[in-house]
Amino acid sequence: MPTFKLFLLTLSACVSLTPASVVFAQARQRTATAAAGRTVYAERFPGADLGARINAADKSLGASAGEIVARGGGRIETQIVISSDHTLRLEAGTYAPVTVGAPILLKPRASVIGAGWDRTIILESTAKDQFTVISAFNHSQRNGSADSDLNVRELQVKGANSGFNSAPQAISLGNCSRCTVDKVWVNGTRSIGIQLGGSSSMGNWAENSKVVNCLFTRVASQNLALVNGRNILFENNRFIAPGQAGGPGSTTIDLEPNEGADRLENVIIRNNYIDGRGSELPTAGNGIVAQATSGTPHVGNILIEGNTIIGGSNTGTITNNMSNGVYVFGPTMQGVTIKNNQITRMGQAGINIEGTRIQVLNNILTDVGGGGTPGFFITHVSKSRIVGNTFKYTGVGPADSRVRVTGPLREVEFRNNVGFDVPKELQ
């Protein structure tokens, strides 16, 4: 009897070593696994090509959450459509579309995730005039429709089309809410790289969406664009050698509404690195542009902060591959803050502004302007502050410390700006 009692006591002690918190955590893990749904493998489904097999795998999941895995790359002849609550996981390999339409469409709450941008490579389609690689589904059916909760991560989109264009986008998200592009490499694509926003004709816009931690190299047209959006974040992206020889020209980050009801509201462009050195173009457009030329009143609270913009080399062979560093303009432009940016070696102005309620604070402009072009432009500016900025000259290559004022100024505070040649209107 004593031995039996001892055994019961020992068993009781062992059970008590598993606290309730661990039990609940294990239960939560099982629930999360169940919620994630099944995982199916495209290679196990019938189809004439990889696209058809992925679609068959997607269909097998029905309306339940789940994941489709494709491995090793392959030729895509059939347009892929990923249903809501499904994830397309592309393992390492090169995926080569020849589709006439966009190769991958994502319905609301769908995702496409790779194994890393140096391991999972999706090429542009080689079909004539097909430059979009991944698109929001509803946007692909009608420009202006709403999409939501899309996720594109950990992959590379690489140029392969023989042509050029300036309008389609390699990753085209349209009026997408709560959408994310993270750790994607857009490499040598032949039109626009990534764009948020579509037509405002149906009363929709992109919202609460972001493009972060991405790499853009040799993108032929605009690298990263917003045409209609609110609460948008572009942060920690790198842009190297924008533009391609023979291409349409390239502005690196472009905020540009197209219609009178489009929105550019609550936009953050922060801690991005733009390097125009090595561009194939003699002039690779501007660094960061925010323009309001469509007549829309829905503009404001735009922050351009902590970005590094290098327009050319100021050592060895001097180059000016970019025009303006930060260029803000348009008759309805308002509510923009440009602060703590470092802008180097621009062929034209380091900063060029037009509008009302513009704040330009604590930026460093090095070797900007030159050849008769002032390094800082102010055009039709009112109710604005230009404070604490610095002009630097390394002593090599062209530069111009002048501040050029065109048009009337009204209620403009200009003080503590070091190294600039200031006109009397600002003194």
Domain locations along the chain: 65-426
Q: Does residue 330 register a pLDDT over 90?
A: yes
Q: Which fold has domain 65-426?
A: Pectate Lyase C-like (2.160.20)
Alpha-carbon distance of 297 to 333, in angstroms, equals 8
pLDDT the model gives residue 36 = 57
Mean pLDDT calculated for residue range 369-396 = 97
> How far is residue 128 from each of residues 124, 164, 179, 235, measured CA to CA in Å?
11, 10, 29, 33
Q: How does DSSP classify residue 415?
A: E
Mean pLDDT calculated for residue range 274-278 = 96
pLDDT band per the 50, 70, 90 thresholds, residue 284 = confident
Q: Which residue has the higher pLDDT, 97 or 11?
A: 97
DSSP H helices in 268-425: none
Q: Which residue has the higher pLDDT, 282 or 325?
A: 325
Within 10 A of 316 (CB to CB), how many other CB atoms are there? Answer: 7
Alpha-carbon distance of 372 to 148, in angstroms, equals 48
Q: Does residue 236 register a pLDDT over 70?
A: yes
pLDDT the model gives residue 37 = 82
Tens digits of per-residue pLDDT, 62-118? 999 999 999 999 999 999 999 999 999 999 999 999 999 999 999 999 999 999 999
**Residue 120 amino acid letter:** T
pLDDT the model gives residue 256 = 97
> How far is residue 36 from each of residues 45, 83, 416, 426, measured CA to CA in Å?
21, 14, 56, 61
pLDDT the model gives residue 343 = 98
**Residue 56 amino acid letter:** A
pTM value is: 0.91
Tens digits of per-residue pLDDT, 29-53? 433 333 458 999 999 999 999 999 9
pLDDT the model gives residue 395 = 94
